[in-house]
Amino acid sequence: MSQFAINLLFVGASFALYIGIAIWSRAGSTKDFYIAGGGVHPVTNGMATAADWMSAASFISMAGLLASGGYANSTFLMGWTGGYVILAMLLAPYLRKFGKFTVPDFIGDRFYSNSARLVAVVCLVVASVTYVIGQMTGAGVAFSRFLEVPNTLGIWIAAAIVFLYAVFGGMKGITYTQVAQYIVLIIAYTIPAVFISLQLTNNPIPMFGMFSTHTESGVPLLQKLDDVVNALGFQDYTADVDNKLNMTLFTLSLMVGTAGLPHVIIRFFTVPRVADARWSAGWALVFIALLYVTAPAVGSMARLNLMTTIYPEMSGQVENYEEAASDPIRYEERPDWIRTWEDTGLIEFEDKNDDGRIQLYNDGNEDFADTEEERGWEGSELDVNNDILVLANPEIANLPGWVIGLIAAGGIAAALSTAAGLLLAISSAISHDLIRNMINPNITEKGEMLAARISMAGSILVATYLGLNPPGFAAQTVALAFGIAGASLFPALMMGIFSKRVNNKGAVAGMLAGLLATLLYIFTYLGWFFVPETNMLPNTPEHWMLGISPLSFGAVGAVINFTVAFLVSNATEEPPQEIQDLVESVRSPKGAGAATAH
């Protein structure tokens, strides 16, 4: 059987499973559509939450970022994991006890203001739309390679599949589909990692293999990787980060952004009791950890495999790495996996010095310039998209065809699971918070269901268009979404739960200040959705304010939000007594009833 047939079998079987589940669990009411009827078991919800949260950025991009940046990019791992702990400990149980369908529903009622509700809807849509771009981009990458279709067609296929199970199934269909998607993606991620760890270190547990001895050279794997990349002008894989302030703020930005993600928060409204929300959070953390402790090993091993593929003399015991690094493979001798990925446009080769060989090195390193000139190199010649490393890893390591088919299904599952959750959050905000609670309070349940499905379909079309014109690679785009959510929604949720003094004026002013400050900073250095010609200032560290990257500014935006909200609230009247009593009751340890629409 050909590799294409194997890929088609795995991906097709997973699609049939998702669509079958959606038909079985079709939403029959708004309660089914928004919160899956409110009766999801904590273990089931934990698994669905893990799939919802572990997006294309986690499955496809995170290990690629670790592979390309090493320790410096571990901020993604720390920020996303730490943020989930904040969400589980400080937000999820209290929001579940409040008993609403959506995040804007909580904000609108807690701050007794439709203005606050409207601002929350805007913040939710901006963050979720930005986030969903990364999922559609990731799905396009996986489809274009494994189903051998153009990236554009791959994104349209992804949109069609999400449409089939999200528009008709709502949260009920998405929940059980995400359980299946989690099983697919975790198996797809770990099995190749185990194979590759065995190949490189004889250790079957990837996270231990990363710290084991590299079998072929007899030195620790990370030391081997440092030696290889250093000989090609890159900084050591394990090198520390110079700008600690930016690293800290970026980690915090991802943390508060994670805690403010509406598509994850609404998952905790689907369980019967407050205690179940806590258990769901715990189970989700267990399921998430299975992938997150494996990702650093996958990243380091992928980077080593890539470099030693291009420079085979550096794969074994090496006495002189500089000398071994001067002898890359000839282009016509490139392995099949490079030929295959070149067809997708995600690997590109340009023979800049016309020597017929592939030079892959850090041509931006001034200290490497003399070596570069001595070798007759005129620039790095292989451009490898970060998003392909996890997907290409089985091929780089010459693993069996069924493993490649499995990771194809896993990569697509990761993108689709999160895309569905995000699209549901957007459609719920529009149909429930905007239409039912603000525009037409007398709408029937049937009318609201229709509005929800039309909103979902419209959201899918917008997401597809933006996926076809992405502003950056998956994890970078997702980082912006986290910054926006952290600067706007997270502070409002925290203050709504833990402060009786913050009133509607303070909440609205804080959300607007945090959102606008973050978007202005992003626009200044990255342009509107990364359009370089619209940059007000160059996107370089020397131009950043206090060395703070645009991707790190979400934490600063959150501080601005908190500060403005408290200042405005203390300068204006206290919230009504019934609202203060409501806040007190939400924090009390007693149970809560089912989530309600009003």
Q: Look at the chain and count its residues.
A: 598
Q: What is the mean pLDDT of residues 345-356?
A: 91
pLDDT at 143: 77
Dist. CA 30–CA 171, nearest whole Å: 10
Tokens of 397: 């390591």
174 part of a folded domain: yes
- Measured from the Cβ of residue 584, the count of other Cβ atoms closer than 10 Å reads 10
Number of domains within the chain: 1
**What phi and psi values does residue 474 have, to the nearest 5 degrees?**
-50, -55
Residue, of 359 and 90, whose pLDDT is higher:
359
Amino acid, single-letter form, for residue 292: Y
For residue 590, name the pLDDT band (cuts at 50, 70, 90).
low
Q: Where are the alpha helices (DSSP H) in 202-294?
A: 206-209, 221-230, 244-259, 262-265, 274-292
185 part of a folded domain: yes
The closest alpha carbon to 580, from 593, 592, 569, belongs to: 569
For the ranges 48-57, 215-224, 518-527, 584-593, the maximum mean pLDDT occurs at 215-224
pLDDT at 458: 87
**Residues in contact with 98: Cβ distance below 8 Å, sequence separation at least 6, in sequence order:** 106, 109, 110, 586, 592
Dist. CA 113–CA 421, nearest whole Å: 26
C-alpha radius of gyration, the chain, whole number: 24
404 part of a folded domain: yes
Is the pLDDT confidence value at 528 over 70? no
479 part of a folded domain: no
* Secondary structure of 516-574 in HEC code, one letter for each residue: HHHHHHHHHHHCCCCCHHHCCCCCCCCCCHHHCCHHHHHHHHHHHHHHHHHHHHHHCCC
Is the pLDDT confidence value at 533 over 70? no
Tokens of 395: 């091929």
The closest alpha carbon to 237, from 217, 222, 219, belongs to: 222
pLDDT at 570: 96
pLDDT at 358: 95
Residue, of 476 and 493, whose pLDDT is higher:
493
For residue 530, name the pLDDT band (cuts at 50, 70, 90).
low
For residue 591, name the pLDDT band (cuts at 50, 70, 90).
very low
Determine the Cα angle at 584 with ends 579 and 590, to 5°: 125
Share above pLDDT 70 across residues of the chain, in percent, rounded to a whole number: 94
pLDDT at 474: 47
pLDDT at 477: 60
Of 1-5, 46-50, 200-204, 307-311, the least confident = 1-5
Burial degree of 446 (CB within 10 A; 0-12, 13-18, 19+)? exposed
Per residue in 377-410, pLDDT tens? Answer: 999 999 988 778 888 888 887 888 888 888 888 8
**What phi and psi values does residue 383 have, to the nearest 5 degrees?**
-105, 110
Dist. CA 374–CA 336, nearest whole Å: 30
Q: What is the mean pLDDT of residues 399-427?
A: 82
Upper half-sphere CA count for residue 142 (Cβ side, 13 Å):
35
Residue, of 504 and 547, whose pLDDT is higher:
504
pTM summary value = 0.81
Per residue in 133-188, pLDDT tens? Answer: 777 777 777 777 777 788 788 888 888 888 877 777 778 888 888 888 888 889 88
pLDDT at 478: 64
Alpha-carbon torsion angle 236, 554, 124, 172, nearest 10: 40
Maximum Cα–Cα distance across the chain: 78
Of 43-57, 123-137, 170-184, the least confident = 123-137
φ/ψ bin of 356: left (φ > 0), alpha (ψ from -120 to 50), beta (otherwise): left
For residue 534, name the pLDDT band (cuts at 50, 70, 90).
low
Tokens of 567: 């200042």
Dist. CA 206–CA 190, nearest whole Å: 8
Is the pLDDT confidence value at 450 over 80? yes
Average pLDDT of the chain is 85
317 part of a folded domain: no
- Measured from the Cβ of residue 24, the count of other Cβ atoms closer than 10 Å reads 11
For residue 472, name the pLDDT band (cuts at 50, 70, 90).
low
410 part of a folded domain: yes
85 part of a folded domain: yes
Domain hosting 34: range is 3-301+397-469
For the ranges 89-93, 496-500, 533-537, the maximum mean pLDDT occurs at 496-500
pLDDT at 298: 92
Per residue in 560-576, pLDDT tens? Answer: 999 999 999 999 999 99
- Using DSSP's 3-state secondary structure scheme, residue 383 falls into strand
